[in-house]
Amino acid sequence: MKTLLVYESTHGCTEKCAVRLHGLLAVKPEIIRLRRIGRINVNNYNTVIIGGSIHAGTMQSRVRNFLTSNVEKLKNKRLGLFVCCMEEGKKAEDQFNNSFPEELRERAVARGIFGGEFDFDRMNFFQRAIVRKVKGINESVSNIVDEEIVRFAENINSSHRFRKKA
């Protein structure tokens, strides 16, 4: 049973969360950052976990392109979907829902909103200026929700156990 964890990270938050998630999964996935790999054959995997971060309300284009290119194949996989974002509550849920096609969200055995970060050290001048103006934040801040990553991993792990018994 092969598992793939594919993600994209702009300033490192999604990468941190993907690495943390990888460590919690019972079946260790192949972990791939989309920026480093051109094409991925999702047919080689039973389980596919997809994550990315939200910038200006939208998921990264690499993740969107991966989803668009593979949506039909992904419908037949055990799925986990997650986002990293600085919004909370309804806004975060809306960003999650806008990031993944409904047909994949409905099939996912695990869905997660892992929180986010503003890492001023990894942002350029304009990105820092936008965060300062729009959010009123003047220094790096992390709101990663580790409990959400753990819950997500438990859902993936229990779906693997269930499949093995069936």
Per-residue pLDDT of the chain (166 residues; tens, 9 = 90+): 699 999 998 888 999 999 999 999 998 999 999 987 768 899 999 999 999 999 878 888 899 999 999 999 999 999 999 999 988 999 999 999 999 999 999 999 999 999 988 878 877 788 777 777 878 878 777 888 999 999 999 999 987 654 443 3
Model pTM greater than 0.85? yes
Between CA 14 and CA 69 the distance in angstroms is: 21
Nearest to 27 by CA among 160, 152, 155, 147: 160
**Which pLDDT score, from 0 to 100, does residue 34 have?**
92
Q: How many residues does the chain have?
A: 166
Task: Give the bridge partners for 30, in sequence order.
Answer: 4
Q: Which fold has domain 3-165?
A: Rossmann fold (3.40.50)
**Which pLDDT score, from 0 to 100, does residue 161 have?**
56
Q: List Cβ neighbours of 124 (8 Å cut-off, separation of 6 or more).
A: none
**Which pLDDT score, from 0 to 100, does residue 69 have?**
92
**Which pLDDT score, from 0 to 100, does residue 162 have?**
47
**Which pLDDT score, from 0 to 100, does residue 53 have?**
93
Would you state the torsion angle of the CA atoms of residues 27, 31, 34, 37, taken in this order, to the nearest 10 degrees? Answer: -120
Structure tokens at 72: 């039909």
